[in-house]
Structure 1
């Protein structure tokens, strides 16, 4: 299972899983699109996403918020994730990702993603794999 949606009173909460933290972050990106459309989104436009932050929670927030902003300003829906590479830097963490998009006008969409939140954000890493939990303000 790449991700699952959980009960939340007003917003949307999900958990994304992966064998590595890179994979869990990538699957978190994939969890955004079903919040906006039931359609299968085609890989049309590829973009490199780069963010850096002082800790992993801020890195996850910044990565997903970048995708929410692209959806809000350019109308892009996440269609796929080719790669996510998280690096531990001297003063925090960096993330490089290759993400595929298509324009929302080509699909029947519903709702809106307002922003990522730190509320109930969790990042768990173990030998068995990784899990990230995120709440999105909708």
Structure 2
């Protein structure tokens, strides 16, 4: 899995590829952390959360939006992302009844205290130019963040 930061007018974009959809989501989230701080120390405690949405793109958007929310509420920079994406009809994640057309994500991140990093504020994830698609034998994503 890889990601690259891309300049985007007054914003910043993350372009990522990975072998699996779960790894792709984690790579984009790692790109969000890299866009937020030039270096990320190894400190911080892991936290977990779940996100659900009606489609893949909406799930990616809501996942990244949740990371920004967690940053603001916990006062941490989410880093070292791990996630599992489950599409409609791909099985139960153990969370109980859910919409059969729903995409779900179970994620965790290491919360690095904001006072331990020189962080640039990423205000929001945008749908502007968002791409999420299968390209040959890998997944590709392009996401623009408002700074």
* Structure 1 residue ranges without an equivalent (≥5): none
Report the alpha carbon displacement of residue 73 of structure 1 after superposing the two structures with TM. Answer: 2.6
Shift in alpha-carbon separation, 1:126–1:3, aligned structure 2, 3 A = same
Match of 1:14 in 2: 14
The answer on 1:49 being equivalent to 2:49 is yes
SS of equivalent residue, structure 1 residue 7? strand
> Does the CA contact (< 8 Å) of 2:40 and 2:112 recur in 1?
no
Q: Which has the higher strand share?
A: 1
TM-score, length-normalised on structure 1? 0.90
Match of 1:105 in 2: 115
TM-score, length-normalised on structure 2? 0.85
Match of 1:80 in 2: 80
In angstroms, what is the RMSD of aligned CA positions? 1.5
| Cα distance in 2, alignment partners of residues 27 and 87 from structure 1 | 17
Tell me which moved more, 33-42 or 87-96: 33-42
Kindly report structure 1 stretches of 4+ aligned residues shifted beyond 6 Å: none
Structure index of larger Rg: 2
